[in-house]
Chains A and B, each alone.
Chain A
């Protein structure tokens, strides 16, 4: 029997007030502006845009402020907001070779054409807490090179491809439109474009863990970071009413091209294979994890063993979404009073039966 229970409206309203008050904190401390969040917590903003799968710094900063810095809650807010907006168009595919790079490194070749450009990275810091940041300070002046970088930096993997040692990755015939997980649910077997969309919006922690597992032996990946680049790319559209392509503004993305050894198989000679990562914003950790997991999910296609978690698409992809995962985990907080009463009565019956058997005299 189901019994509808009402109540709690007042308590809920009070909890909203408490949440808002806690968000604001002590009013003697100045309130955060969205511009401050965008500028000074930019990587948090990028993560929210990336997993919220909606690129807009202003909206992501607002979500972070509303969520009091809880990145997953902010992702949820952004995902919810996007459902209120109409889909106006699809961009032309991003041309990452035309990226205006702010950072570009290769772990495979020292002397890549165009050079190793470190950009704003924490890699070479000593991870010592910098107490001088506790006080306001002037912005350091950045040195300028005599000349800007070349407009177009060739991809490191092109060097290997030119030698025939890197597998080709070309558009399939007719260059079909990809599956869209925001329109159709993920079905298995999922093709690579559907997998990449899932990974691009997947939780960074989940992907990092899966990627790490492939390195610790739960897959045979042998990866090298062929190239990582981060910078601005113009988003291009072909609006129907214009009939020609236009640039509608730039976004920052991070791309990772992972190179993996491949011993060869029935359909291919020994060569290097690719794992690919592309994410909104500045996030090398996420782009690299994505590339590693992309490669491990290609195990079946390449005739490799598929026994490890990171090689099983259904496991890797169905649990990557933080909004889904946190919803299902957290729904346990909701009233399960009736379910639990049924469980309780079952356990009581079993226990009574158990106790009776214990008490029965043995013959």
Chain B
């Protein structure tokens, strides 16, 4: 009981911490960063990165496993489908903490996401970074997904009925 109260306090603290930038906005940029190509992120983010000595690594990039769950019948009981390789990193820059989690085994990708996450929380850096990094990556991601979806849609079956006799 005591410990569940403590966990609750954790959450309160977390909520306070992220109020500086609202959660959906931060969720969006973290999702865009994790779905971007590491090389594209590197190119766009490089000019904005702080000097390495200004970044403190709370957690160096680390590769591990995340167990992916499914549900029986799609919506029933949870079951373990299998694991994905995931790399994560966390850093602090000027009192702002950035976290990067990304599927795959690329430590550089996780480190870039963590730094971008910290920088994006700074009100004075936020608008420029959104325009220069997040929006271009989001556009590329949207275009990639739309292309795949339109290719799939092109293979949709159009049934027609043959009328015989009269």
Contact = CB atoms under 8 A, between A and B. Distances in A.
A–B contact, 8 Å CB criterion (strictly below)? yes
A190 to B, nearest CB: 11
A118 B74 contact: no
A88 B105 contact: no
B104 interface: yes
Most buried by B among A82, A102, A149: A149
Most buried by B among A89, A179, A279: A89
B68 to A, nearest CB: 5
B113 to A, nearest CB: 10
B84 A54 contact: yes
Interface residues of B, number: 60
Interface in A48-99: 49-50, 53-56, 58-59, 82, 85-94, 96-97
Given A88-B86, A97-B74, A169-B73, A180 B152 contact: no
Interface in A171-214: 171-172, 175-182, 192-194, 196-197, 200-201
Interface in B112-166: 145-157, 159
A86 B85 CA distance: 10
Given A180-B67, A196-B70, A242-B99, A55 B27 contact: no
Given A235-B84, A239-B99, A243-B18, A96 B70 contact: yes
A251 B151 contact: no
Nearest to A102: B152
Contact of B85 (A50, A56, A176): A56
Interface string B1-22: 0000000001100110010000
A86 B66 CA distance: 9
Given A178-B78, A193-B80, A247-B31, 18 more contacts: A49-B82, A55-B68, A55-B84, A88-B88, A90-B66, A91-B69, A118-B157, A142-B154, A148-B149, A192-B77, A193-B72, A241-B99, A243-B10, A245-B27, A246-B27, A249-B35, A257-B74, A279-B81
23 contacts: A55-B85, A58-B105, A59-B85, A59-B105, A88-B62, A90-B67, A93-B71, A94-B69, A94-B71, A100-B149, A102-B152, A145-B154, A148-B150, A171-B71, A178-B80, A194-B79, A235-B66, A241-B97, A242-B18, A243-B11, A243-B18, A276-B73, A278-B70
Interface of A: 49-50, 53-56, 58-59, 82, 85-94, 96-97, 100-103, 110-111, 115-119, 142-149, 155, 157, 169-172, 175-182, 192-194, 196-197, 200-201, 231-232, 234-235, 237, 239-251, 253, 255, 257, 274, 276, 278-280
The list of the 7 closest CB pairs from A to B, nearest first, reads A249-B103, A169-B73, A145-B153, A148-B149, A243-B14, A193-B79, A247-B31
Interface of B: 10-11, 14-15, 18, 23, 26-27, 30-31, 34-35, 62-86, 88, 90, 97, 99, 101-105, 145-157, 159
